[in-house]
Amino acid sequence: MKHLFYLLLITLVLITCHRCTGGSNSQYDYSVRVVGVSDGDTFTGLTDNNEEIRFRIYGIDAPERAQPFSQKSRQYLSDLISNKTVGIIVETERDRYGRPVVWVYTPDGEDVSAEMLRAGFAWHYKDFSDDLEYALLEIEARKSKVGLWSDLNPVSPWETRKK
């Protein structure tokens, strides 16, 4: 059992280091200045060419507007990235709504998806991400009952969208 724990820990470190940027812009595909936050998993960035692009954040799904914690999720993301230049790594060029699906990094090199999960303001979007770190962060947030996990019966955004 102890060996399994260390193997899991080493795997998690390797996954984290693979995406680790150390705050260096050379590790990003490009950077944008965040000019708007729509909700807890979508934002608008301005490129160096003054082009506005609407992005979907990889690996997470935040509460829909009519759901509990929607505003808190949006505000938390806004506090993390609004009016800041963030690093972008493209996962998918376009989702079904035409948005690039991207990893986003704060000016300090923090993974925004991980921060949203850690704070309990998003679900790990397992249909599109098999990221072990994200799964563990959601489990920890659930156990700690932080953010949306303090709700007695949180309903996932994908369940809300089905209705």
Distance CA 90, CA 76 (A): 22
Distance CA 3, CA 95 (A): 39
User: Which pLDDT belongs to residue 29?
Assistant: 97
Q: Model's pTM, two decimal places? A: 0.84
User: Which pLDDT belongs to residue 162?
Assistant: 83
Please determine, for residue 75, whether its predicted confidence score (pLDDT) is greater than 70: yes
Distance CA 15, CA 1 (A): 21
pLDDT digits (tens, 9 = 90+) for 100-114: 999 999 999 999 999
Answer for the pair 121, 62: CB distance below 8 angstroms, yes or no: yes
User: Which pLDDT belongs to residue 31?
Assistant: 97
Burial 83-121 (b: 16+ CB within 10 A, else e): eeebbbbebeeeeeeebbbbbbbbeeebbbbbbbbbbbb
Angle at 140 between CA 157 and CA 117, to 5 degrees: 45
Domain ranges across the chain: 27-150
Query: What's the pLDDT band for 160 if we cut at 50, 70, 90?
Result: confident
Q: Which CATH number fits domain 27-150: 3.40.50.1100, 2.60.40.1180, 2.60.120.1440, 2.40.50.90?
A: 2.40.50.90
Active centre residues (catalytic): 56, 64, 99
